[in-house]
A and B are shown apart, each in its own frame.
Chain A
Amino acid sequence: MAFDKMELRDIEVWDGNFAAAQALRQCQIDVVAAYPITPSTPIVEGYAKFLADGYVEGEFVMVESEHAAMSGCIGAAAAGGRVATATSSQGFALMVETLYQASGMRLPIVLNVVNRALAAPLNVNGDHSDMYLGRDSGWIQLDAYCPQDAYDLNFIAFRVSEDHDVRLPCMVHQDGFMTSHTAQGVKTLTDDEGYNFVGDFKPMNDMLDFEHPVTHGVQTEEDWHFEHKARQHNDLMTKVMPKIQAAFDDFEKLSGRKYNIVENYDMDDADVAVVCMGTSVETAREVATEMRAKGIKAGVVGIRVIRPFPFMQIAEALKGVKAVATLDRSAPGGTVGMLFNEIAGCLYNLDTRPMLSGKIYGLGGRDLTKKHLVDLYTELQANVDAGKITTPLQQFIGVRGPKLSFL
């Protein structure tokens, strides 16, 4: 069996879903096990069409649930080959058990997560609740801000995840609808460039090597479980970031597109900054530029690598800033937002640290407008001028009804 290559234009008009599907095609996945869910469905639909048209070769298993999708991916990855799938929201939540199993068994799997809210109430639109649910699962998590990123980061994901020093699964996140269904110009790689960047899959501990039988998914109790988890965490903390950096460097050489572990925008001399993820990064950058025209030294820190979390790089970016706001797009469930917590952790031991406040925004696909960000930067500057936080530590942006603020 053979497959045909596809001629792409230098710039194609793709939404985030189709960009991810094209990246999967170019990486030539051996097994995709998947289940449909809005808004990620077009990724696997796209892949199915490539298969039907003879542009990819491999097994496409349409299973009966997302839990089975990741279970099938785990079995396939343990057998020894390139594996990917996609999901969102409730499907991601159903997968959670298997996410821990995939990472604990050190299996390289790429999961495209098109971020969407979690019910109840049921909601199909984009927020980061599902992304946050996976944050302790031992996966690498990369965040795309636009369709171009969704395309490029898939190549990075396979390169890093399948590295024999890493052998950890990797999620590529993009915002539901805002990225997944918004068509933009996407600069492409040729099929050969894309495939050669990730390279041939090199199996390790593969069940299909019958000369070397392996046991995957053992039992360990108090005698060994801790060591397994600690070693896995150690590899996430020490080995992954250099591999991501090396992949970013190589990718820049190949494509001219530069990615950074932390995407700093106008941070060199910033007095006030927001830290955010996903499509909000672009909005914040636009507003920061406008604030500078008004004399407020505004900057943006975009999180590109969510796990492992870039503590050192963020501390470096924020150490001279006077006031920082974190933007969390997930209901914090009785505490501060995840980003607030992580950023506080980055900053606490610095000699001088910025004032930090946390904002919750955009739940269930509610827009974050430029006006919201103008108000936010203005508030941060007011805190700087007053020399203290004058507003509640946690506030909700863009919610109707009485203004919600806490702490």
Chain B
Amino acid sequence: MSEMKKIKNLKEFSTSADRFEGANLLCPGCAHSIIVREVLNATNDDLVLSASTGCLEVCTAVYPYTSWDASWIHIGFENGSTAVAGAEAMHKALKNKGRLKQPERNPKFISFAGDGASYDIGFQWISGCMERGHNIMHVVLDNEVYANTGGQRSSSTPIGGSNTTTPAGRVSYGEKRNKKDMVAIMASHGIPYSAQVAPNKWKDMVKKIQHGMAVDGPVFINAVSPCTTEWKFDPKDTMMLTDLSTDSLVFPLYEIIDGHELNITYRPKNVVPVEEYLAAQGRFKHLFKDEYKYLIKEWQERVDANWAYLNRREEARV
């Protein structure tokens, strides 16, 4: 039987045993490590983990050290999902053949990858894993940029962000396209569970991760991961930024069950204007020039429209 952790409060959470060590090379204020801890802390079960090439991978398994006190594999940039899918297939095979060393264990298979490794280069691999019904969970650490290689745009990068390959300049406001809706795309595979989570809402996150671990079949999780380096904010403000992302509804928290049943899981008491979210980050600084202020208005309209859409989806129960 699966063993889910029961954690009542943050103090209990922060002192709970860790299978992802604090000894790693991630930037101070990086949200990745917070998300990973929250995911792993949702269960006491054994873990088979993968990381795609990216910040998390290069900062946590530099030979001869490892930050992982659990089985862990990295192959390449695009194929972390398929790595755990292969391991999951082997687990199934050995279980059927009676060759598991610890047959009573109930391991969880989880792949972590950035938005570049998920929305872009690893898209096909993840789609394949979702379609084939592997009993795995894919978690995107979505910082909306190729942070590991120095801030290039990905297909998760939002409009108006200044990045190293779509920089704002004399005649450009930076990224011209909005991010693609990866949660919807993955839900369209008809998978049992997909959700968007944020590290500040850790109870919501743990609930969703535990839901995902309990279902039979592939699970997709998109986690907002504010990047102090590329979003350009003070490392001490990571949680403040995460609060702004969820409370402005730029990152609404919701889940989609069986590919269609949408539930909004967090409704901010006081919705923060998107402008405040943008103003807190250096990557959007140029939008506050007079000639680009219309983009801030468009941002707000887009976020409002998306929130209205999510609400209609929830209400329709389809």
Contacts and interface: CB of A to CB of B under 8 A. Distances in A.
Partners in one complex: yes
Interface of A: 1, 30-31, 33, 57-59, 61-65, 67-68, 71-81, 83, 97-98, 101, 105, 203, 206-211, 213-220, 224, 228
Interface residues of B, number: 48
24 contacts: A33-B86, A57-B93, A58-B97, A62-B132, A63-B132, A64-B127, A71-B79, A71-B125, A72-B83, A72-B86, A74-B86, A75-B75, A76-B87, A78-B73, A78-B86, A79-B86, A79-B90, A83-B90, A101-B76, A210-B105, A214-B72, A216-B73, A219-B61, A219-B74
Given A75-B89, A210-B71, 4 more contacts: A59-B93, A207-B73, A208-B71, A209-B102
A207 B47 CA distance: 9
A59 B91 CA distance: 9
Contact of B61 (A75, A203, A215): A215
Nearest to A104: B75
Interface stretch (B62-70, B166-174, B301-309): B62-70
Nearest to B71: A207
Nearest to B69: A213
B50 interface: yes
Contacts of B128: 63-65, 68
Interface of B: 46, 48, 50, 57-58, 61-64, 66, 68-76, 78-79, 82-94, 96-97, 99-102, 105, 107, 124-125, 127-128, 131-132
B124 A30 contact: no
B62 A61 contact: no
A217 B74 contact: yes
A243 B73 CA distance: 28
Contacts of B92: 59
A75 B82 contact: yes
Contacts of B91: 79, 208
B96 A97 contact: no
A31 B85 CA distance: 11
A217 B61 contact: yes
A71 B86 contact: yes
A213 B76 contact: no
Contacts of A224: 63-64
Contacts, number: 168
B74 A79 contact: no
Contact of B87 (A78, A217, A219): A78
Which interface residue of A207, A211, A213, A214 has the most chain B CB atoms within 10 A?
Answer: A207
A203 B75 CA distance: 19
Contact of B63 (A77, A98, A213, A220): A220
A77 B91 CA distance: 11
A218 B125 contact: no
A60 B99 CA distance: 17
A68 B93 contact: no
Contact of B124 (A62, A64, A216): A64
A203 B88 CA distance: 16
A281 B37 CA distance: 59
A58 to B, nearest CB: 5
A224 B91 CA distance: 32
Contacts of A31: 86, 89-90, 93
Contact of A215 (B66, B101, B107): B66
Given A67-B79, A210-B107, A58 B100 contact: no
B87 to A, nearest CB: 4
Contacts of B132: 61-63
A77 to B, nearest CB: 8
A74 B66 contact: no
